[in-house]
Amino acid sequence: MNARYSASAAALLLVAVLTACGPASDGSGDAGGSPSPSAGASDGPDETGTPSPSPSPTAKGVALPTDCRAILSDDVLAQLEGVPLNDAAFGPSGVGTDGTLTCIWADPGADTTSLVTTISGMNRGPALDMLNALADNEGFSCFTPDGGTRCEKTWPNTQYPVTDGRTLFWRDDILIDTRYSNLAPSGYTSAIVAHLFG
């Protein structure tokens, strides 16, 4: 009789141990799973099951911005002083119907000087495919600062003796895409990144 109870108790203990180990090994990337296996068992699948391709975007929950000035530092705004923002001559700007923010820094009277930034939502797969294509096919330099991926390239303007360029930054399902001509304030993209993710 005691042997049966001992065997049953040992079997239950083994099942409990194996059950507790299962979620911990599935979610080994979560640092918080070790202290309480039962909490890890209930929270782990919800957190890692849905965003399995990229767990960090949904974990951060960063919202798209709605104000072109608020996303910039005082230093960058000082460099843009006197440059009109979102002049109607350049078409739609501001917040779009899908939440995308378009910021157009340009003077309608200038021939080429402009800075156009679009901040939109983009999933990890399409974003990385696009950035890889820019690096592989168009000579963009890409690196991974501030927890994201940044790609950039400059080239001489074909009509005027100025520099044109494009800088992209993707992190947590948000893409910051800036195209510019003869207007590249120092720290511009970094200021937006700091505002959104800092």
Using one digit for the tens of pLDDT, what is the confidence trace for 92-112? 999 999 999 999 999 999 989
Per the CB < 8 A criterion, the answer to whether 180 and 166 are in contact is yes
Q: Is the dihedral of CA 15, 21, 22, 23 positive or negative?
A: positive
pTM: 0.70
Give the mean pLDDT of the chain. 78
Q: For the chain, first and last CA: distance in Å?
A: 64
Q: In percent, how much of the chain has pLDDT > 90?
A: 67
Give the per-residue pLDDT at 13: 34
110 phi and psi, to 5 degrees? -85, 145
Per the CB < 8 A criterion, the answer to whether 148 and 170 are in contact is yes
Q: What is the mean pLDDT of residues 32-58?
A: 34
20 phi and psi, to 5 degrees? -65, -35
- Rounded to 10 degrees, the C-alpha dihedral 156/157/160/161 comes to -10
Closest to 148 (Cα-Cα) out of 198, 94, 76: 198
Residue 69 DSSP one-character state: T
Answer whether residue 3 shows pLDDT above 80: no
Q: Map tokens 């930054």 to a residue.
A: 169
Answer whether residue 120 shows pLDDT above 50: yes
- Residue 170 CB contacts under 8 Å (≥ 6 apart), including other chains: 122, 127, 128, 131, 148, 149, 150, 176
